[in-house]
Structure 1
Amino acid sequence: MAQKPIIQGHRGCRGEFPENTMPAFQHALEAGVTVLEMDVCMSSDGQVLVSHEPYMNSLYAIKPDGTPVLKSEENTLNVFKMSYNEVRKFDVGSRGNPLFPEQKKVFAYKPLLEEVFQWAEDFRKKTGKKIYYNIEIKSDPKEYGVSQPATVDEFSEKVWAVMAKHVRPEWIILQSFDFNVLKYWNKSIQSGHFPRVDLSALVTRKGPESTCTDLGFTPAIYSPNFTSLTQDIVNDCHTRGMKVIPWTVNELTDVKAMIQLGVDEIITDYPSRTLKNL
C-alpha cells in the first residue's frame, strides 16, 4: 500500500483563503498543514515580501483608494518599484478570487517573509507542532533588474538573511523555476557560505535527467506539474535520490493517483479538504 504523502499548503491555502497572506498561512497551520508553500519577491527598499507576482494582480487586488486594480495598471504597479509601505496599503483579499469561488473574502495584504516566519514560529512554540517552509524565489532572467534585483546573487542573499534570522535551515525547502537561482544556492552551500537547505527544481514538463543535466547537480527535490508525472519518472527520481513533490494537485482523484505513484509530498490549494480525505 502506498504511503500517505506530506501535504503542502500552496500559497498557504489558495482555494480557501487569499493566497500568500497571513489568513491563508494561519488557516493552513490550524488545519494541520506542516509545510507552508509560498513565493517571495522584493520591494524597492529591499524588503523580502510574500507574493506570487512582482505586481498587483487585477484579479483580486484593491488600490488604497478602494478601487480595484485594472489589468491595464498591472505593469505600473511593479512591487520592485514600490516601497514595502506602499505595497502593504493594497488589499489583496476582500474581492476574493474568481478562479477560486470557495475562497473566503477577507481583508489581507502582502506580508513580509519575516512576518510569516514570526507568526508561524510563535505557533510552533505554542502548539509544539512541526512546521516547514517551501519558499519559491520568483525569478525570471527576462526580469533581472526590472521586477527583481539585477542578479540572483543579490536576491538570494536578501532571502537567506531573513531565513537565517528566524528559522533553522533544516526547516527550509528553497525552490525556483529559474535554474540560475538554484545554481547560486548550490554553489553557496558547497562553499559553506550558506548552510545546507533542500533545493527543489520546479519544472513544468522537463524530465529528471535533463533537469539534473541543466542544473549541473542533483537537487534534493524534483517538483513538476503533476500532469507530467508517470511511474517511470517517480522511480527514476527515487533512484537518483530525489524526492518527488508535484504541483498543484487539487482534485481528490488526482491526489489519490499521485499517492499511487508514490510521490513524497503533494502541493495543493485545498489542504484542509485534502487532509480530511487522505
Structure 2
Amino acid sequence: MDALSVILLLLCLPVYVACSLFLLHNPCLLHKRKKLNFHCRHISHRGGSGEKIENTMEAFTHAVAVCTEMLEMDCHLTLDGCVVVSHDKNLLRQSGCDKTISSLRFQDLPLYKERLEVTFYVGHYSTGKDREFVLLEDVFKKFPNMPMMIEIKENNDLLIKKVSCLVKQYDRESITVWASEESEVMTKCQKQNPSIPYMFTMKRGLLLLLLFYTGLLPFVPLGESVLLFYLPRVINRTYIPEESYLKNRFVVYLIQKLTMRKSLFEHLSKRGLQVQLFVCNEESDIEAAFAVGATGVLTDYPSLLSNYLRKHPLPPPAVH
C-alpha cells in the first residue's frame, strides 16, 4: 500500500466511524421501520411450563388468563400427519415413553408425566390436571387473536407446509412468528410462507454481531422481525445446558459481554424489530433483561412476569 492510499484510508476511517455511529442511533434515515401487528413484552415459554405442564391446553389457557401477550411453542408431526405441539421429538423426558412422536399416531400419544421438571429452572417441577398433548390447530381455534411464536423443531417439508396451511386457514399470518435455530429450516419456512414474520437463526445471529462490531449494521437491511436469545446469566444457574462448551464459566462470560449490548438492542428496536430474551424465571433476571434493552421476556412463570410488570410498569413502545 502506497503513502497516498494510507492517507486516504486514515481520512476516510473517521468519516466511516462517525456515519456508522450516527446511523446506529438514527436507523430510520436509511431503513423503513418494520410495522408488526404485535408488541409483546410478556411471552409464555412453552405456555408457561413452570406453572402448568408444558405445551398443554391448560398451560396456554392459564397463561392467557394471567395476561400473557404471546405464546411460544414447538411443533412436530405425528405418524398420521397431525401437527402436534411438543418441544421434544422423543417422548422420554416428557412422558417416560422412549418413542418418537413421528412413530405414533396422535391418538396413541402417551400422557405427560404427573410431575415434569422445568427445563430452564433446574430442580423445580410443574404439575397440572391436563397431561394431554395438543394439536396446533386446536390452539389456533382456542386463541384466535393471540400472537404465537412457533418453532419448527425438525427439518421436515411436510411439517412446514402443514403449519403454513394452518396459519393461513386461521388468518394468523400477521400474528405468528416462524422460529428455528437452523438456517436451512428457516429458508424453507420463508419460502413456504414469506408473509409470516421470522426470527434470526443462529447463523444470522452471528452475522448480526459481526455487522454490529464492524460498524456495518446501520447500512445493512434486515429481513428478520424478532431477535430471540438467551439471557446468558441464567446459564449454569437456573439452566444447565447440554453443550459442554457452555459449562465453561469464561465462555458464558464472553457470551454475556459480546451479546448483551444495549446499543445493539436499541438499534434493532428503533428499526421495528423485537428483542426477546429467555428464559427468565426469577424477578432479578426479568429486571436484568429489560435493563439491557429487551423489548420482551420469555418466562416459564407467566404469573411472576405479570406481577413484575404490574409493579414495574414499562413505558409504552417508542414510535419512530
**1:226 corresponding residue in structure 2:** 231
- What does residue range 102-117 of structure 1 map to in structure 2 within 5 Å? 103-117=126-140
Of 55, 61, 80, the match for 1:26: 61
Aligned length: 234
**1:91 corresponding residue in structure 2:** 111
Cα distance change of structure 1 residues 244 and 253 upon mapping to structure 2, 3 Å threshold: same
Unaligned runs of at least 5 residues, structure 1: 62-68, 122-129, 189-193
| Contact preservation (8 Å) 1:40, 1:137 | yes
Of 127, 150, 155, the match for 1:135: 150
Q: CA deviation at 1:232?
A: 3.7
Question: The residue matched to 2:116 in structure 1 has which SS?
Answer: coil
**1:7 corresponding residue in structure 2:** 42
Matched, 1:52 2:51: no
| Contact preservation (8 Å) 2:230, 2:279 | yes
Amino acid at match of 1:118: K
Unaligned runs of at least 5 residues, structure 2: 1-38, 233-255, 310-320
**1:174 corresponding residue in structure 2:** 178
Cα distance change of structure 1 residues 120 and 239 upon mapping to structure 2, 3 Å threshold: closer
| Contact preservation (8 Å) 1:169, 1:195 | no
| Contact preservation (8 Å) 1:91, 1:109 | yes
**1:197 corresponding residue in structure 2:** 196
Amino acid at match of 2:305: T
Amino acid at match of 2:294: V
Matched, 1:208 2:205: no
Which has the larger helix fraction? 2
Task: State the alpha-carbon separation in 2 of the partners of residues 5 and 257 from structure 1.
Answer: 17
TM-score when normalising by structure 1: 0.75
Task: State the alpha-carbon separation in 1 of the partners of residues 201 and 228 from structure 2.
Answer: 5
The CA RMSD over aligned residues, in Å, is 2.8
| Contact preservation (8 Å) 1:175, 1:182 | yes
Deviation per CA, 1:171-204: give whole Å up to 9, x if none: 111111111122223334xxxxx35121012549
Cα distance change of structure 1 residues 183 and 25 upon mapping to structure 2, 3 Å threshold: same
Q: CA deviation at 1:19?
A: 0.5
| Contact preservation (8 Å) 2:182, 2:202 | no
Task: State the alpha-carbon separation in 1 of the partners of residues 191 and 272 from structure 2.
Answer: 19
| Contact preservation (8 Å) 1:52, 1:138 | yes
**2:104 corresponding residue in structure 1:** 82
Task: State the alpha-carbon separation in 2 of the partners of residues 157 and 136 from structure 1.
Answer: 13
Amino acid at match of 1:95: R
Task: State the alpha-carbon separation in 2 of the partners of residues 209 and 241 from structure 1.
Answer: 18
Task: State the alpha-carbon separation in 1 of the partners of residues 107 and 268 from structure 2.
Answer: 43
Q: CA deviation at 1:276?
A: 0.6
Task: State the alpha-carbon separation in 2 of the partners of residues 242 and 34 from structure 1.
Answer: 16
Cα distance change of structure 1 residues 241 and 269 upon mapping to structure 2, 3 Å threshold: same
TM-score when normalising by structure 2: 0.66
Of 93, 101, 111, the match for 2:124: 101
Cα distance change of structure 1 residues 93 and 21 upon mapping to structure 2, 3 Å threshold: farther
Q: CA deviation at 1:211?
A: 9.2
Cα distance change of structure 1 residues 45 and 203 upon mapping to structure 2, 3 Å threshold: same
Question: The residue matched to 1:198 in structure 2 has which SS?
Answer: coil
Amino acid at match of 1:233: L
Who wins on radius of gyration, i.e. which is larger?
Answer: 2
Matched, 1:275 2:306: yes
Amino acid at match of 1:103: S
| Contact preservation (8 Å) 1:13, 1:28 | yes
